Chains A and B, each alone.
Chain A
Amino acid sequence: MSSIAKPSVRHPSARKNAIGLTKADYEGAMSTLCAGCGHDSVTASLIQAFWELDLPPHKAAKMSGIGCSSKTTAYFMRQSHGFNSVHGRMPSVTTGANAANRDLTYIGISGDGDSLNIGLGQMVHAIRRNVNMLYVIENNGVYGLTKGQFSATADVGSKSKRGEVHEQAPIDPVLLALTLGATFVARSFSGDKAQLVPILKAGLAHRGFALIDVISPCVSFNDHEGSTKSYAYVRGHGVETVATDFVPLRRSITVPAQHDEVTVVQMHDGHRVRLHATAPGYDPADREAAYGYVRSCIGREELATGLLFVDAAGRDMHDLNRTVPSPLAQLPFSSLCPGSAALDAMMARYR
């Protein structure tokens, strides 16, 4: 049960970040997922990323829908408000919350079923609005809580635990997001913390919708021979296309921006992200090329990983709506209500 609390004993010499918090301060309740679940590794990477970014927990909001992935918002940052909403509908709740208070960091955790089956419409439109949020899909190709049905990301030919072969074409969230004009698109693997943590940090620093598709194997229902979302398969087929290095504000950057295969992206908040393409000629600022490359990898049964596309200059939902910089929820009532004299004056129009 997610209400089980972890012991709060701290080692006195535990390292603290710039705001005086240890990594344990970014933890949440005890996970109730299966032992070895990829999602728990993602949670560990998230905790690492928040801690390294010196993020004040109460200035973050954890958003999720329904499913195994959506339970994980309870397992980190207990000092943040969390919202475990309705299946497939986390994007709309986050959109409303963000509209009301743009000052918080929004972390949405979803799954392949939650985002690409029941919630496809909402995810797509949150991308179109460029809602400023980190959106993590913990992607295992399977419905865990209902014990092993295929989801929309299950590959053609992938086998279920019962031996059933999947025949419908999958939806690839990375290709979908690139098509929709997403401003930050990445793919990673739950088992590769070294790759995932800098991507998560870059996603949190990105202003706009940051989609990270994390292949996160389901040890109970989709980690067998014949599955294309198993630990063994992903380890064998993953190809790091773009190596990502997140550069903290207080560390000066030494790599020249014009280096052949290194791109430095300046984020809105001043952070910089250094991208090193391992695929020759790959340009993470070129949407068309990124799309073509990811597709060609799929054709070769390879999984392109890394921060595959980023446009740090995109306008987010608040830019598009021209909202004031202060959170709408905190505007004083006196600045919102036009008052009796204005109403009296308006009445002339209705005569």
Chain B
Amino acid sequence: MSGVNDFAFKMATVNGTGSASANSLLMQAIFRMGVPVTGKNIFPSNIQGLPTWYEIRVSDDGYTARPGAIDLIVALNPTTYAQDFASVRPGGCVLYDSSWPLDPKAQRADVTFLGVPLGDLCRDAFTGDRDRTLLRNVAYAGALTALLQIDRAVIEQTLTEKYGRKKSLLEANRRAIQLGYDYAQAHFDCPLPFHCAPRDRTREFVLMDGNTACALGALYAGATVGAWYPITPSTSLMESFKALCQEHRVDRKTGLNKYCILQAEDELSAAGMVLGAGWMGARSFTCTSGPGLSLMQEFLGLAYYTELPGVFFNVQRAGPATGMPTRTQQADLFSMAYASHGDTKHIMLFPADPAECFALTVAAFDATERFQTPVFLVADLDIGMNDWMIPRLQWDDRYAPDRGKVLDAAALDQVQKFFRYVDTDGDGIAARTLPGVDGKGAYFTRGSGHDRFGAYTEDGAAYQDVVDRIRRKFETAARALPAPAYHRQDGADIGIVLVGSPAAAVREAVDRLREQGSIADVMRIRAFPFAPEVTDFLGRYQTVFVVEQNRDAQLRALLAIETGTPRDHMVSVLDYAGQPLTAGALVSAMTTHLQGVAR
């Protein structure tokens, strides 16, 4: 690493001081220069006063995983100086605010310290504490524009778009950029050895976070009822949906809404609302995270057994309990796969990035109605809240929603008598009816024991008949849900299995392993229950790595339970510290294992 369009820098600030807009300005400007870029926000569960970091990776190769090494840090938070200075690679740089003296003992000899008196510059140029504090961030962006050779015209254009209507704000931002830029040009050797150079590699891409992409998916899939309880890191999903609905779902003539968003009193209620709306035939959903998922368990069991649709977005965070709400993990696999008491199983779809969030959200709405069972769209904080570079989203206007087997009045007219839980064609799915259509289709939805006719039962055989059919329904689902995505190489003798966001780091790790002479195939599973081909893949390689972000190797356990593959045949590569994965960590863990086997 480290070179033109191949480096990473990081901003260490205090949250609530306005650094986010400066950071996104930098990222957006690099992206608009045509250079692939990724941002990772590492923020506290707090509104103001705690340390926060933002990492930006610039990569001509288009790698989007979290960077392994930091070339430059903007250290603006004295309380984290020690760890921030230590995080820079040897030969890298520290940009700090030299308005205050730096303890010489804190400095490292193998790192270049670039002092910019951001505080003094802003104190002299602006009035008022608020402006001086906020614009200090813009000033460091100005210094970085010089140091990293970011196109100033692009910065100017981006600022104009953002503040065009507020002239004084635009002027202040321009001035702050200029202050930092001029200071850096005058005092340092600009640009640094690692810097940006214009390319044309982002034209067909956008920068988007997964929660926004999920909300777009829900809008395009025709969801009309959203019920939720705010919880980090899923909150922005429903807020994006609301904003999109205000734009696209308000009747022009009447000003009335073609959607209903219900902020529930808790997640139990949110789950109940989703199921009530799904029962009524609306496409409905909720979004939540760990603690909310725990509260939804009982309703998920009810939905499984009464066979009701509903999409449940789970933007995972680090658990257990409150855990680390602003850190990422994949540790809810157990509590989703078999949520609720009794024999249950739930469909999960695993997007790897925001682009797939959009596509799989639409697939989730189709699957939940087709299979009449809740569907989890499983994201995590890294996908949900960070901006990823993804291909522009596209929509096929020929799309028609799959509403599943729903008997309307005409269809009911053709049947002698309607029974809710009779499977007539062997796929395990029984036709349903919607309330309000026809008295002939009326049935009683009950979570208590019922037979295939929908009647209450405590008869063992009649009960078993229904739950066995539901099992067959999930076998049908396993074959119909989105298939795994593969990356295959000639001569591979290693298999790597994963779900979700680690894909970015795995892609990079596979390239690096190849340079070391280890050839690996990758299977990224996109749905649970697992497709039959998942079992085949696991059996094909001498070494199979299962990469996941939890302590207890939950994905490996699910693979063992569901495919019968011996657990010890699969080698776990685990990372559960709460940060997005780096390729370096994966290469290191895999190499250590391979060397151990070789010995």
Contacts and interface: CB of A to CB of B under 8 A. Distances in A.
A324 B269 CA distance: 23
Nearest to B444: A82
Nearest to B255: A322
B464 interface: no
Given A61-B436, A321-B257, A100 B280 contact: yes
A99 B225 contact: yes
A54 to B, nearest CB: 14
A336 B445 contact: no
A347 B393 contact: yes
A342 B280 CA distance: 29
A92 B445 contact: no
B395 A343 contact: yes
A84 B445 contact: yes
A350 B213 CA distance: 11
Interface in B377-434: 392-397, 399-401, 433-434
A49 B310 CA distance: 34
Interface stretch (B164-172, B260-268, B543-551, B566-574): B260-268
A100 B308 CA distance: 14
Contacts of A165: none
A58 B438 contact: yes
Interface string A323-350: 1110111110101111110111011001
A41 interface: no
A80 B442 contact: yes
Contact of B222 (A59, A99, A337, A350): A337
B272 A92 contact: yes
B167 to A, nearest CB: 22
Interface string B148-168: 000000000000000000000
B238 interface: no
Contacts of A101: 280-282, 435-436
Nearest to B443: A81
Contacts, number: 230
B541 interface: no
Interface residues of A, number: 63
A129 B32 CA distance: 46
Contacts of A121: 265-266, 269
Contacts of B393: 343, 347
Contacts of B225: 96, 99-100, 328
B257 A323 contact: yes
Interface in B312-351: none
Given A84-B446, A86-B298, A331-B224, A97 B31 contact: no
A92 B276 contact: yes
B227 A96 contact: yes
Contact of A78 (B268, B277, B442): B442
A18 interface: no
B396 A340 contact: yes
A77 B411 CA distance: 22
A154 B405 CA distance: 47
B447 interface: yes
Contacts of B279: 81, 83, 93, 96-97
Contacts of A330: 281
Interface string B237-281: 000000000001101001111111110111011111111111111
B269 A328 contact: no
Contact of A322 (B208, B257, B440): B257
B435 to A, nearest CB: 4
Nearest to B454: A3
Given A79-B442, A81-B443, A329-B224, A95 B265 contact: no
Nearest to A338: B248
Nearest to A88: B268
A108 to B, nearest CB: 11
Contacts of A329: 224, 277, 280-282, 434
Contact of B32 (A333, A344, A351): A351
B284 interface: yes
Given A89-B269, A331-B224, A104 B435 contact: yes
A244 B212 CA distance: 53
B222 A336 contact: yes
A85 interface: yes
Interface in A20-61: 56-59, 61
Contacts of B299: 86, 89
Interface string A100-127: 1101100000000000000001101100
B216 A343 contact: yes
B4 interface: no
A318 B224 CA distance: 13
B367 interface: no
A122 B260 contact: no
Given A74-B444, A125-B269, A335-B258, A86 B302 contact: yes
A335 B222 CA distance: 9
B213 to A, nearest CB: 9
Contacts of B444: 73-74, 81-84
Nearest to B256: A324
Contacts of A339: 395, 397
Contacts of A318: 260
B31 A324 contact: no
Name the residue in B227, B256, B441 with the highest tally of chain A Cβ atoms < 10 Å from its Cβ: B256
A122 B277 contact: no
Nearest to A57: B439
A226 to B, nearest CB: 33
A93 B272 contact: yes
Interface string B456-472: 11100000000000000
Given A58-B436, A78-B442, A100 B258 contact: no
B448 interface: yes
A83 B445 contact: yes
A73 B395 CA distance: 44
B519 interface: no
Nearest to A125: B265
Interface string B198-237: 0000000011100010001001111011010000000000
Contacts of B278: 96, 100
Given A122-B265, A342-B248, A350-B207, A96 B258 contact: no
20 contacts: A3-B455, A73-B444, A79-B442, A80-B435, A81-B279, A82-B444, A84-B446, A96-B262, A96-B273, A96-B278, A97-B277, A101-B435, A323-B257, A323-B260, A324-B251, A324-B258, A329-B280, A335-B258, A337-B219, A340-B394
Interface of A: 1-3, 56-59, 61, 73-74, 78-86, 89, 91-101, 103-104, 121-122, 124-125, 129, 318, 321-325, 327-331, 333, 335-340, 342-344, 346-347, 350-351
Given A92-B273, A342-B248, 5 more contacts: A61-B435, A96-B277, A124-B265, A336-B222, A343-B393
Q: Which 4 A-B pairs have the closest CB atoms?
A: A96-B276, A92-B272, A79-B439, A96-B273
